[in-house]
Amino acid sequence: SSAQSLAKPLLPATMRRPPRLRGASSPWLAWRSLCATASAIPIPAAPPHQTDPLSAHFSNRPAARDPAVVENLTSTLRALFASSPSHPRAFTLLKSAAFDAGLAPGALVDAVLSAAAGPHSGSPVAAVHVSLLSRLLTSLSRAGRASAAADAYAHMVARGVVPDVKSRTDLLVTTARCSSARDALALFAEMRGRGDRVDAWMFDALMRACVKEGMLEDAVRLFDEMPGAEIEPDQRVYALVIAALCKLRDADRGLHLLGEMKEAGFETWDFTYRSVVDVLVKVGRMEEALRVKDEMLSAGKKMDVVLATILMHGYCLRGEVEKALDLFDETLANSILPTNVTYGTLIRGCDQAGMTQKVYVLYRQMRGQGLLPSSHEFGLVIKGLLCDKQWEDAVSLCVEMADSRLPDVFTYNGLIRWLCQQHKLREALNLFGKMKETGVKPSVVTYNSLLMGYCEKGCMDEAVKLYSEMPVEGFVPNVFTYTFLMKGYIKKKAFDKAYALLDEMKQNGVSCNEYTHNVLINGICMSDRIYEVDEMLKNFIGEGFVPTTMTYNSIINGFVKAGMMGSAFAMYQQMREKGIPANIVTYTSFIDGYCRTSCCDLALKMLNNVRRKGLQPDIAAYNALISGFCHEGNMSHALQFLVILLKDGLTPTSAVYTNFITGYKDLKMMKEASKFYESMIKEGIAADTVTYTTLIDGFSKDGNVAFALELYSEMMAKGNIPDDITFTALTHGLCRIGDIDGAKKLLDDMRRLDVCPNALIYNMLINGSLRDGKLQEAFQLHDEMLNRGIVPDDTTSDILAGQKSPED
- 3-state helix/strand/coil string of 731-763: HHHHHHCCCHHHHHHHHHHHHHCCCCCCHHHHH
Rounded CA-CA distance 593/600 in Å is 9
pLDDT digits (tens, 9 = 90+) for 178-208: 989 999 999 999 999 999 999 889 999 999 9
Q: At 367, which amino acid appears?
A: R
DSSP 293-320: HHHHHHTT----HHHHHHHHHHHHHTT-
Q: At 488, which amino acid appears?
A: G
Measure CA 10 to chain center: 40
> What percentage of residues in the chain have a pLDDT greater than 70?
90
End-to-end CA gap in the chain: 96
Q: What's the 3-state SS for 367-397? A: HHCCCCCCHHHHHHHHHHHHHCCCHHHHHHH
Q: Sort residue 354 into left (φ over 0), alpha (ψ -120 to 50) or beta.
A: left
Render the burial of 595-619: b for 16+ CB within 10 Å, e for the rest.
bbeeebebbbebbeebeeeebebbb
- At 806, the pLDDT band (50, 70, 90 cuts) reads low
Residue 803 has pLDDT above 60, yes or no: no
CB 28 within 8 A of CB 101: no
Name which residue leads in pLDDT, 210 or 772.
210
Mean pLDDT, range 479-507, rounded to an integer: 90
Residue 15 has pLDDT above 80, yes or no: no
Cβ atoms within 10 Å, residue 88:
8
- At 511, the pLDDT band (50, 70, 90 cuts) reads confident
pLDDT digits (tens, 9 = 90+) for 25-72: 334 334 434 444 444 444 333 334 344 433 333 333 443 456 777 888
Q: Residues near 453 by Cβ (< 8 Å), separated by ≥ 6?
A: 419, 420, 421, 423, 425, 428
Under CATH, which number does the domain 584-686 receive? 1.25.40.10
CB 424 within 8 A of CB 456: no
Residue 680 has pLDDT above 70, yes or no: yes
Residue ranges of the domains in the chain? 584-686
pLDDT digits (tens, 9 = 90+) for 266-315: 999 999 999 999 999 999 999 999 999 999 999 999 999 999 999 999 99
Name which residue leads in pLDDT, 113 or 6.
113
Q: Is the pTM of this model over 0.95?
A: no
List alpha helices for 562-704, DSSP H.
565-577, 584-596, 600-612, 619-632, 635-647, 654-666, 670-682, 689-701
Q: What is the pLDDT of residue 65?
A: 52
- At 514, the pLDDT band (50, 70, 90 cuts) reads confident
